Amino acid sequence: MAKISRRDYGKGLLGAAALGRGSALLAAQEGAIPPEGIGQHFRHLGYSDMAGRPDSVQVMLNRQHLYVGHMFSNGVTILDAADPRKLKPVGFFTGGDYTRTHHLQTSGDLLLLANGANIVAMQSYDSIRGYFENTLADSITNRKKFRSGLSIHDISRPAEMREIAFLEMPGLGVNRLFWTGGRYAAVAAHFDGFTDHFLCMVDLQNISKPEIVGRWWMPGMNRAAGEPSTLPPGRRVALHHMITSGNRGYGAWRDGGFTVHDLSDPTKPKLISHINWCPPFPGGTHTPLPLPGRKLAVVADEANAEKCAKGMFCTFVVDLRAEENPVTISTLPSPRERDFCTSGVFGPHNLHENRPGTFQSEETIFATYNVAGVRVFDIKDAFAPRQLAYWVPPPPKKLIDPRPNAGLAAKSADILVTKDGLVYVTDWNAGLNVLQYEG
């Protein structure tokens, strides 16, 4: 077979996108040419399987190095990203066997890392839905030893993660957190006696001795105090994570909906409002992106059922002009280049979070989707969002996810966009891709 240049391949991708499914995707699946995917207004630059640990979730960038948390491999991989076309694994940190460290945050030369139970390794699910439809406390049937809490690392030497503090949280650990520097971090953590993750405000004034100073949970989550649960079977209320802006916090509570909190006193988080669109929508509220300049939020619900068995999961635009009364005013357009429902768990997963030092916009939204890859949306008219660009990776060659019926399909997980349009996108099974946005 004649060698195909990247330039010629890129032209082929645009042609394939215009036709919908095209031969370029088929060739990529067969391994005849680099697995660069198909799309519009994106150029594929680089890829890494992270030294044989391709299960990747959250990604952070500091000093031209990427820090990538793993979903199943119990650790964090460090990549030299000075040349985004040639990512080089240069380090690996692990909290130990059965300790999942899939979410992390960086600011300056500090890194905060979620430590918690590798749930998938301690429970036998008959399908991927079992992970999303049971409370965390009821999920583990084969408990192992693991670290539970928040670790803090010095990353002034980029290829190293030198742990300088550990805040133990007796329970099943941290899911995700939000911190962009400053005194307080918003952490979604589980403690023994509770059903699932809830909000912990962590004071980092003394970085070597972090301290939990405030907590907030939904009614019914504190089993130890005898709070009765009103959840129907198959529903899970848990803080996936909270994003903060100024003295406000915006929480995503899976099947429990979306909350707005006053964090003026971090020791006493105060609920301002709560809205839940589950039902009639299937739930899974995952990422709450505030757009404070426009008094809006973009809120993504994570898809969690095979072949659209629960219906369509959406990403909502929420009007917060009256923050005590949030109102959904639109949804981002669902990908429709083909019938994505036939390829496993299809729907939204995450949003680029407008972090300091990265691309920031209150009109252009970058999102990831299970099966459907990366999407870019224009929400200048918040009542009528439109799609600007997309990139769909090929299916992974194999699954790292051990759960039955997980589906051999792309699971684009997290996304980080730089000021110059470099896009780092991870996949639960298939490593990390680098794209250039050309919209």
User: Among residues 330, 334, 241, which one has the least CA distance to residue 288?
Assistant: 241
Report pLDDT for 43.
95
Sorting pLDDT into bands at 50, 70 and 90, what band is 97? very high
Note whether 110 and 207 are within 8 A (CB): yes
CB-count exposure of residue 395 (10 Å: 0-12, 13-18, 19+): buried
Average pLDDT of the chain? 90
The closest of 207, 145, 219 to 179, measured between CA atoms, is 207
Q: What is the mean pLDDT of residues 65-87?
A: 97
Q: Is the pLDDT of residue 105 over 50?
A: yes
- pLDDT score, position 35: 55
How many Å apart are CA 26 and CA 392, to the nearest integer? 13
pLDDT at 130: 77
Residue pLDDT, tens place only, 182-229: 999 999 999 999 999 999 999 999 999 999 999 999 999 999 999 998
Are 120 and 109 found together in one domain? yes
- My answer on whether 139 and 49 are in the same domain is yes
Instruction: Judge whether residue 434 has pLDDT over 80.
Output: yes
Residues above pLDDT 70, as percent of the chain: 91
Edge-to-edge, what's the strand order for the sheet holding 422-427? 42-48, 431-437, 422-427, 412-417
Residue 352 has pLDDT above 50, yes or no: yes
Q: What is the CATH number of the domain that holds 208?
A: 2.130.10.10
Indicate whether 169 and 26 sit together in one domain: no
- 70 and 21, same structural domain? no
To the nearest 10 degrees (0 to 180), the angle between helices 6-19 and 22-29 is 120
> Of the candidates 328, 300, 326, which has an alpha carbon nearest to the alpha carbon of residue 314?
300
Query: Does 237 lie in the same domain as 194?
Result: yes
| pLDDT score at 275 | 98
Q: How confident is the model at residue 25 (pLDDT cuts 50, 70, 90)?
A: very low
pLDDT at 180: 98
Q: What is the pLDDT of residue 121?
A: 87
Give CA–CA dist 157/21, Å, rounded.
44
Looking at the fold, whether 87 and 219 belong to one and the same domain comes out as yes
In this structure, are 149 and 276 located in the same domain?
yes
20 and 8 in a common domain: yes
0.85 cut: is pTM over it? yes
Are 63 and 117 members of one domain?
yes
Per-residue model confidence as pLDDT tens digits over 232-274: 888 999 999 999 999 999 999 999 999 999 999 999 999 999 9
pLDDT computed for residue 17 by the predictor:
36
pLDDT in the model for residue 265:
98
Q: How confident is the model at residue 314 (pLDDT cuts 50, 70, 90)?
A: very high
Residue 376 has pLDDT above 80, yes or no: yes
Question: Do 243 and 273 share a domain, yes or no?
Answer: yes
Q: SS3 letters for 228-270?
A: CCCCCCCCCEEEEEEEEECCEEEEEEECCCEEEEECCCCCCCE
Does 201 lie in the same domain as 68? yes
**pLDDT tens figures, 26-73:** 333 333 334 568 899 999 999 999 999 999 999 999 999 999 999 999
Same domain membership, residue 112 and residue 190: yes
User: Span 346-375, mean pLDDT?
Assistant: 97
Residue 405 or 141, more confident: 141
Q: Which domain holds residue 21?
A: 1-40
Q: What is the mean pLDDT of residues 71-91?
A: 97
**Would you state the pLDDT for residue 132?**
84
CA distance 333 to 215: 36
Is the pLDDT at 2 greater than 60? The verdict is no
Total domains in the fold of the chain: 2
Percent of the chain at pLDDT above 90?
79
